[in-house]
A = this chain, B = another copy of it.
Amino acid sequence: MIARGEPFRWPITVYYEDTDAAGVVYYANYLRYLERARTEWLGALGFSHERLLAEHRAVFVVHRVEIDFRAPARLGDRLSTGVVLAERGRAKLVVDQTIERGTTNIASARVTLAAIDPAAWRPLRIPATLVARLSSPTEIVA
């Protein structure tokens, strides 16, 4: 159980696949890390992407990303990715995410997600059962 407002955290290891010829993690790959952490955060809330699709015909898509890259991560680094809910609308969620190596901030991002019906690619209300879980973040068990 984690305290209200405290971010959900997910560990990430940097492998060769993540790095580029500049010797650091390729910038787009940080977005893969962010998405892994959001997937595990949803999972900790009891919602897998598969369940959202099967039971609610819903998929979360990313509408907007603002990300600041503050320090490079390198091969073999053990990172930690944080997720905290910043805002909840009827069809969208805004989450604040960070990537750290120990106490060093590697990147900080604000990500806007929208629930959609993937068949019509139209906005959808976030399923009530997920909203209920999002409203009581203290219940998140990491």
Interface residue ranges, A against B (CB under 8 Å): 13, 15-17, 19-24, 26-29, 31-32, 35-36, 39, 48-50, 59, 61-69, 72, 74-76, 118, 121
Contact A35 B15 (CB under 8 A): yes
Q: What are 16 A-B interface contacts by the 8 Å CB criterion?
A: A16-B21, A16-B39, A19-B20, A21-B23, A21-B24, A21-B75, A22-B59, A22-B61, A23-B118, A50-B76, A61-B72, A62-B69, A64-B67, A64-B68, A65-B67, A66-B66
Shortest distance between the CB of A2 and any CB in chain B (Å): 21
Shortest distance between the CB of A142 and any CB in chain B (Å): 15
- Give this chain's copy count: 4
Chain B neighbourhood of A66, CB < 8 A: 64-66
Within 8 Å by CB of A63, from B15, B36, B64, B68, lies: B68
Contact B23 A16 (CB under 8 A): no
C-alpha gap A59/B36 in the complex (Å):
28
Shortest distance between the CB of A77 and any CB in chain B (Å): 10
C-alpha gap A85/B62 in the complex (Å):
26
Chain B neighbourhood of A59, CB < 8 A: 22
Chain B neighbourhood of A26, CB < 8 A: 16-17
The 9 closest A-B pairs by CB, nearest first: A28-B31, A19-B21, A27-B62, A17-B32, A16-B20, A28-B28, A21-B75, A50-B76, A66-B66
